[in-house]
Structure 1
Amino acid sequence: MKQLIALSIKEHEDLHIIVQDLRIWLELEVPIIEDGNHFGADVQAQLAKELVENYKRSNGFQTGCRGHHADRLKYAADWAKYPNLIDFQAAIQISDRSDHVLLRSYLRSLLMAYGGMLNKFQRNWAKVINPKGTGSTDTMY
């Protein structure tokens, strides 16, 4: 469980940094929206919105990881206070099992976030780097 938590925290921290970097870069690429032909700028705005959503989701994941330790500490403190009550041991085990499932879900959500962002950036790369559609036709590869 410790290794899974450590992996989850590291991956969420990485997602945090990557999303911030991509968001800054994308905002620097957004052109002035003039009359007509601003579809590329709309695509960039949509991608920026998705980056913000992934950033917020990452914050939620990190809060969930911290919550695991807080819950466990509360159960352990109560168990130490009432050592003859066996319900606390079962509560800790159930909490650990539930949190393990949540961590696995968080890691799957990370995979979906990375995959979704990569897919959308790849499909719209020409509009991201050249939103007006003029000049060069650079592609990602």
Structure 2
Amino acid sequence: MEDFNVRLTEAANRNFQDQLPDVCRRFHEMLTKEDFSPEALAKVRSFIRESCKRIVEEVREKKERKRENSEKKASESDEEQYYTPMNSDGEDSSQPPKKKQKKTKFTTSRNVRSKTKCDDEDSDSDDGVTTELESNPHINRMIDVLKPELRSVVECCNTVRAWVQLQVPEMQDGNNFGVEVQGEVLEEVRRVESGSQAFMEALSLYYLARAEVAGKFAKHTGIQDYVYALQELDVKEFHSLRLIVREVRNSCVTMLDMLNKNMDKILTPRSNSGNMLVC
């Protein structure tokens, strides 16, 4: 237990001196990057408009190509439907047996339909048209930068919270002001830790919500409201990511300031003078 306490104290000191100040600095500098700047909002909007416009044009070309193939196959089917092969037994070809003619006609028509279906499938698979809607690269870069920083905050808070809990003395009557300070510090560290975890979970929910809207747009490309829904969803996520950076930065600064100001009470929550009897 003593070895663990020593290692935990060393890790907590590294957090106080190096990691937490660096985290606060990185979150502050993150707002000055190009992807997090307010000017990047125009790029977020334009990407959605251009992507949806490209998909609508591709779907329109695909439907037009499929319609042309269907008309072509239908015309070929009409030409082969009235074709009757010559009688190979030397009978009069102008009056073939009815059953044989009907059977030949049915077989030929079925083969034409099967061939037309296969040709349509081959033409659809080889037409080179794709309806893939890519993720917004600006939002992806923001999330890729923010997610490891949130993970670092959670790990630092977990270490600090464990160290402060080990500094809490045994319960006694009176002289508990330092213990109350430790409780307030633990509550603040726990708040920053749980908030960072909630922000990390919210990042994955964005992709689920966007996939749902994008799937509906892929099925109904003619509905313009889905384009606006995707655009507003990305704009909302852009502002949310900027607010997350500000919130976590302010929370980390507040937590670090509380730890520095109350370090004496955290290390020595009870003083010896509290047990002295004054006459």
Q: Which amino acid aligns with 1:106?
A: I
Q: Which amino acid aligns with 1:69?
A: Y
Between the two proteins, the alignment pairs up a number of residues equal to 134
Question: What is aligned with 1:43?
Answer: 181
Question: What is aligned with 1:92?
Answer: 230
The alignment's TM-score, normalised by the length of structure 2, stands at 0.46
Question: What is aligned with 1:101?
Answer: 239
Q: Tell me how far apart the structure 2 counterparts of residues 70 and 37 of structure 1 sit (CA, whole Å).
A: 52
The alignment's TM-score, normalised by the length of structure 1, stands at 0.89
Question: What is aligned with 1:132?
Answer: 270
Work out whether residues 178 and 266 of structure 2, in 8 Å CA contact, stay in contact via their aligned partners in 1: yes
Unaligned runs of 5+ in 2: 1-138, 273-279
Is the aligned partner of 1:67 residue 2:205? yes
Work out whether residues 178 and 265 of structure 2, in 8 Å CA contact, stay in contact via their aligned partners in 1: yes
Question: What is aligned with 2:169?
Answer: 31
Deviations 1:18-74 (A, max 9, x none): 111111111111111312222111101111111222222112211221121111111
Q: Match of 1:19, SS?
A: helix
Question: What is aligned with 2:141?
Answer: 3
Displaced runs of 4+ in structure 1, greater than 4 A?
A: none
Deviations 1:85-122 (A, max 9, x none): 12212111111011100010011011011001001001
Q: Which amino acid aligns with 2:257?
A: N
In the TM superposition, residue 125 of structure 1 has moved relative to its aligned partner by: 0.7
Over the matched positions of the two proteins, sequence identity in percent amounts to: 25
Q: Tell me how far apart the structure 2 counterparts of residues 27 and 18 of structure 1 sit (CA, whole Å).
A: 14
Q: Tell me how far apart the structure 1 counterparts of residues 156 and 173 of structure 2 sit (CA, whole Å).
A: 33
Asked which structure has the greater CA Rg, the reply is 2
Q: Which amino acid aligns with 2:142?
A: L
Q: Tell me how far apart the structure 1 counterparts of residues 169 and 196 of structure 2 sit (CA, whole Å).
A: 28
Q: Tell me how far apart the structure 2 counterparts of residues 88 and 62 of structure 1 sit (CA, whole Å).
A: 27
Task: Identify which range, 112-121 or 31-40, moves more after superposition.
Answer: 31-40
Q: Tell me how far apart the structure 1 counterparts of residues 226 and 271 of structure 2 sit (CA, whole Å).
A: 63
Question: What is aligned with 1:120?
Answer: 258
Q: Tell me how far apart the structure 1 counterparts of residues 244 and 216 of structure 2 sit (CA, whole Å).
A: 28
Is the aligned partner of 1:82 residue 2:82? no
